[in-house]
Amino acid sequence: MPGALSASRLPDERLSSALGWFSVGLGLAQLLAPRQVARVIGADERDATTSLTLRLLGGRELASGLGLLSKVHPAAWAWARVAGDALDLALVGRALASPRAQRERLLLFGAGVLGVACVDAYSARRLQREARDVASEGIAVQQAVTIARPPEEVYGFFRDFENLPRFFSHLESVQVVNGYSHWRTKGPLGSAIEWDAEIIEDWPGRLIIWRSVANADVPNQGFVQFRRVGADTEVEVELRYDPPAGKLGAIVAQLFGAAPGQQIATDLRRLKQVLETGEVLHSDASIHRGMHPARPSELSARISEQVRS
């Protein structure tokens, strides 16, 4: 079974994001006000070379920060920050040679750079290790949707796992017994796949992390995170599963389809419809048979009118 998602993953992501914003802020300061930055750290602000160096370092900081915030190959961008820390220390060494340098400020700044370098190296190692783990954990799917409901309401609906088949189209039923949930999916040709799962982290209104228990037909794990966006909620779902070999693996492949990410995205749109309108709204083509005018059916109109009232 793949290694379970742990609570440490989210703090790692928050640390990466914090370092990203730190890089963006510092980079902009170095690019836009290099002389003021030089004065603050104790370097010679009248030295043109120092100003040019700070601008170059600022560009590097800005690029690293935006790279971390993009979450695309975050480990590489974290290591880029470590390399930048080495350049910052080189700047401190050069600035100390200037007779107009304020040595105490420079040494204090250098100590701060060393501390940040340790944090950067820690973050880079964790992100690199996570990337290796993800590569060995089978198939990973991550999707998000914004729902016009507060996080507490969305969390409460999702946390009642027996609601899940209302919008996860591949689920037939979820039953909660003695703290465990029993999942049953609808497979091709009347087949079914079942497994038990347990919750390993539950932060009301914010986060649910689960994993399948031992001997599951399809080992899987995942999390759903609820973030407040104004009056709305962004729901992010990540699912990892390890399809088995043989006949069962073929069934799983048919179950999730060639694009599991698209399937989860569709299911999340169904969740949005359920919470915002009370129903999953079907397309016109799913109601009528054969050729028909491109307009809502009378049934769809009645449902919409009931929801609005």
Q: What is the pLDDT along the chain (309 residues), one digit of tens a residue?
A: 333 444 445 556 678 888 889 999 988 998 999 889 888 888 888 888 888 888 998 898 999 889 888 766 777 888 888 988 898 888 888 888 888 888 888 889 889 989 988 998 988 887 777 655 544 456 778 899 999 999 999 999 999 999 999 998 888 899 998 888 999 887 666 667 788 999 988 999 999 998 888 777 778 888 999 999 999 999 999 888 776 554 455 455 555 554 567 788 899 999 999 999 886 655 444 444 443 444 444 434 443 444 344
Query: Is 239 in contact with 168 (CB distance < 8 Å)?
Result: no
Instruction: Please give the DSSP secondary-structure letter assigned to residue 190.
Output: G
Identify the three-state secondary structure at position 296.
Answer: coil
CA distance 143 to 262: 8
HSE (side-chain half, CA atoms, 13 Å) at 60: 17
Q: Is 68 exposed, middle or buried (0-12, 13-18, 19+ CB in 10 A)?
A: buried
Identify the three-state secondary structure at position 167.
Answer: coil
- Which residues sit opposite 210 in a β-bridge? 199, 222
- Put simply, whether the predicted model's pTM sits higher than 0.85 gets the answer no
Q: Is 122 exposed, middle or buried (0-12, 13-18, 19+ CB in 10 A)?
A: middle
CA distance 37 to 28: 11
Query: Is 84 in contact with 121 (CB distance < 8 Å)?
Result: no
HSE (side-chain half, CA atoms, 13 Å) at 52: 3
Identify the three-state secondary structure at position 244.
Answer: coil
Token pair 């200037």 is at which residue? 98
Q: What are the C-alpha distances in Å from 292 to residues 27, 280, 299?
A: 59, 22, 15
Query: Is 144 in contact with 229 (CB distance < 8 Å)?
Result: no
- Radius of gyration for the alpha carbons in the chain, expressed in angstroms and rounded: 26
CA distance 163 to 155: 11
Query: Is 155 in contact with 271 (CB distance < 8 Å)?
Result: no
CA distance 214 to 190: 25
How many Cβ atoms from other residues are within 10 Å of residue 37's Cβ? 22
pLDDT score, position 300:
42
Domains in the chain with CATH codes: 9-135 (no CATH), 139-278 (3.30.530.20), 279-309 (no CATH)
